[in-house]
Amino acid sequence: GLVVDECFRTVMPSCSLGPPTEPEGGDVAKGNVLETAKRKRSHVPLEIFHLRYLSVTDISAQVWCEQQMVYRRERPDLTTPENIVLLNTGKSIHLARELEDHDLVTVSTTSREDSWAIKVLNLLGMLLVLQEGHRVREFPVFGVLEDIFVVGVIDQLGYTPKGELELNELKTQNNASMPSAAQKKRDRFQVFLYKYLFDAMVQGCLAPEQPLGPHVQDQARKSGFTVSHFRDLLELLSLNLTHCEIPAIDRLQIEYIHQDSGTALGTEVVAYDQDEVGAAVRYFLAYWKGQRDSRGVDVEDAWKCRYCAYAGICEWRMGKAGSPAERWKKSK
Ligand code: SF4
């Protein structure tokens, strides 16, 4: 069975790449984010939001509207209940699919390294399954992009009849129709990022001293690995990744299904563009490093504001710092 830590994938590792862990997506601690930011006078969003890492979904949300992603962090009180329902339904559909492949085993963890260790153990197990030519689900990916630690979870990896390694991303839709071009653009970037991180992992990278908790060591033993420190696991992972015969991802596919009925709506196969993803990553991560201000939608995407929970407070939309069109021109 696949191993989960007691917080069920809510804790991500710090690795040697950053200080203590945050909940998935690097969520902000409770409290007034803006007040803290003012006190600290930081202009770097990563510091303002107390983030040690970003998730792939944080970055792909910037494709839709960066300003909206910022408001979602600053004003979670304004998030619409429909969004929460959609998110939870999406999570249950993912979990149901995962349970088709394996059971989940709960292991109690005592440190962030333990939580990371669980992920690494899962990863090691999945590498074996992939090497044997089988499908895996919920495959963790991580890496450093533009000096920022980025994490994500690939829905599904498997081989096509032609033997190509295929990534399949599952998206649930509120309406029984395929998504808009704008949604597809965001989803396409998300799978690009997964491929970017995955390919870097199988091509070799990575590098902590924390002893692992007894339950985790025990679980590792059951999986056939003798490890006492987190670093042992990373070394093992690095070795396995470097010497495994798993190729880079050949095919990227996004599968859309209707949230209520579970009906398949269609699939999109997208052509990977390395230059595009590299340029977009540099652009999006410059915001997190405080190198530029957040931006709302471009003029041609102003229709998105009609469906946005933050339209009533959005300074970009109200053009307080110049009209959106002016700001848009200036930023070009
Ligand atoms: Fe973005 Fe428009 Fe929402 Fe502002 S109102 S956050 S620009 S979508």
| 314 inside domain | no
Q: What percent of the chain has pLDDT over 70?
A: 72
| 234 inside domain | yes
Helices (H), 171-308: 181-202, 214-222, 230-243, 274-288
| 65 inside domain | no
DSSP class of 27 = P
Q: Residue 291 C-alpha to ligand 1 middle, in angstroms?
A: 21
Spatial separation of the C-alpha atoms in residues 111 and 20, rounded to whole Å: 10
DSSP 3-state of 143: strand
| 85 inside domain | yes
ipTM: 0.99
How confident is the model over 29-34, as a mean pLDDT? 50
Nearest to 66 by CA among 276, 254, 324, 330: 324
Q: Residue 253 C-alpha to ligand 1 middle, in angstroms?
A: 28
Number of the ligand 1 atom closest to the C-alpha atom of 304? 8
Spatial separation of the C-alpha atoms in residues 174 and 124, rounded to whole Å: 35
Q: pLDDT tens digit string along 197-236?
A: 998 877 754 545 667 777 777 777 877 778 787 677 777 7
Query: Which domain range does residue 267 map to?
Result: 2-17+81-145+152-277
Return the axis-axis angle of helices 33-40 and 56-74, rounded to nearest 10°: 90
Q: Residue 28 C-alpha to ligand 1 middle, in angstroms?
A: 21
CB 51 within 8 A of CB 148: no
The domain total for the chain is 1
Out of 7-11, 14-18, 82-86, 225-229, the most confident range is 225-229
Spatial separation of the C-alpha atoms in residues 196 and 199, rounded to whole Å: 6
pLDDT of residue 167: 96
| 76 inside domain | no
CA-based R_g, the chain, Å: 20
Nearest to 238 by CA among 72, 127, 325: 127
pLDDT of residue 318: 87
| 52 inside domain | no
**Neighbour tally for 35: CB within 10 Å:** 9
Nearest to 127 by CA among 27, 201, 217: 201
Is any atom of ligand 1 closer than 6 Å to the C-beta of 72?
no
User: Atom 8 of ligand 1 has which residue's CA nearest to it?
Assistant: 305
DSSP 3-state of 254: strand
Is any atom of ligand 1 closer than 6 Å to the C-beta of 64?
no
pLDDT of residue 254: 95
| 178 inside domain | yes
| 137 inside domain | yes
CB 141 within 8 A of CB 169: no
- Supply angle C-alpha 15, 90, 2, rounded to 5: 50
